[in-house]
A and B are shown apart, each in its own frame.
Chain A
Amino acid sequence: MTIAQFLVLSAALFSIGIYGVLVRRNAVLVLLSVELMLAAVNINFVAFGRYFADATAGGQMFALFIITVAAAEVGIGLAIVLLIFRNRASANIDELDVLKW
């Protein structure tokens, strides 16, 4: 196993996530694509942790921190989406233009 094959796979997943964030209209699907990008970053951290043979498992620790922050992000994000849906009866992000002027 080379380090580059993990990095290329992670770059592919991250790019697919970027495509999903840019192309989706529904807020829940945008959040799903963000999860894809975070999973790509996790693969990078664990592969680099193994590559540098860190004695204190730093790569895996940061992967765990990212998982925690992702859980918090999904909770808050879905709460905001539900609130927007309750007020505007739509979860499409291109219809949210109240902050535009």
Chain B
Amino acid sequence: MDLSIAQNWFFIIIALAMVMASLIVVTTRNVMHAALMLVGALAGSAALFVLLGAEFVAGVIVLVYIGAIIVLFLFGVMITRVEIGRSQSLDHERKWPAAVIAIGTFAVLAGSSVAFFGDEEIEGVAAVRTSDIGTAIFERFVVPFEVVSFVLLAALIGGIVLARRDDPES
């Protein structure tokens, strides 16, 4: 009983931090702040994965998202010379249609999931071990694993081809 109360408080704190960080991501006028607040939101999702017993996924989030993708974004911000610092022209002028669509999506998704699942509990089970995930990758999910490795290879080649300068004489 005490454990479930502690889990709920942990969830509430993490959830509030994630929502605040993601609101800053979509509203700030400073591009650097947006990228760094995305780190906050993703770190919150890693904490939720630890709460759900998915420790390997939490580690992958920290390594791949926070370690690699955010750094890539910071490089993108610096190379494309988005005005670092406050800038007025990052948003469209008409914001209310987007706000209406976002609030409508939230109402439909949240309302239907609350109406369908009610207050069904997630029973507390022990964390999934990394060796079980490794077994699952190479037994049940081996074909999707190979497909996704081809996706990464294609993205690698495509990134090189796109970013390479064309030869001036050809």
* B159 near A76: Cβ-Cβ < 8 Å: yes
* Closest-CB distance, B131 to chain A (whole angstroms): 11
Expressed in whole angstroms, the Cα–Cα distance for A79 and B58 within the complex equals 27
A7, A58, A92: residue with the most chain B Cβ atoms closer than 10 Å: A7
* Closest-CB distance, B47 to chain A (whole angstroms): 11
A8: chain B residues within 8 A (beta carbon): 110, 113-114
- Residues facing B in A52-101 (CB within 8 A) are 53, 56-61, 63-65, 67-76, 78-83, 85, 91-92, 94
- Residues facing B in A38-60 (CB within 8 A) are 39, 42-43, 46-47, 49-51, 53, 56-60
* Closest-CB distance, B71 to chain A (whole angstroms): 11
| Proximity bits, B107-130, A CB within 8 Å = 1, else 0 | 001100110011111111100100
Main secondary structure on B side of the interface with A: helix
Expressed in whole angstroms, the Cα–Cα distance for A65 and B60 within the complex equals 11
* Closest-CB distance, A63 to chain B (whole angstroms): 5
**Within the complex, which residue of B68, B91, B109, B128 is in contact with A60, where a contact is CB–CB below 8 Å?**
B128
- Residues of B at the A interface (CB closer than 8 Å) are 4, 7-8, 11, 15, 18-19, 22-23, 25-26, 31, 34-35, 38, 41-42, 45, 48-49, 51-54, 56-57, 60-61, 64-65, 68-69, 72-73, 75-77, 79-82, 89-92, 95, 97-99, 101-103, 105-106, 109-110, 113-114, 117-125, 128, 132-133, 136-137, 139-141, 144, 148, 151-152, 154-156, 158-159, 162-163
9 interchain residue pairs of minimum CB distance: A20-B26, A72-B155, A11-B109, A22-B98, A15-B106, A7-B113, A19-B102, A79-B162, A15-B102
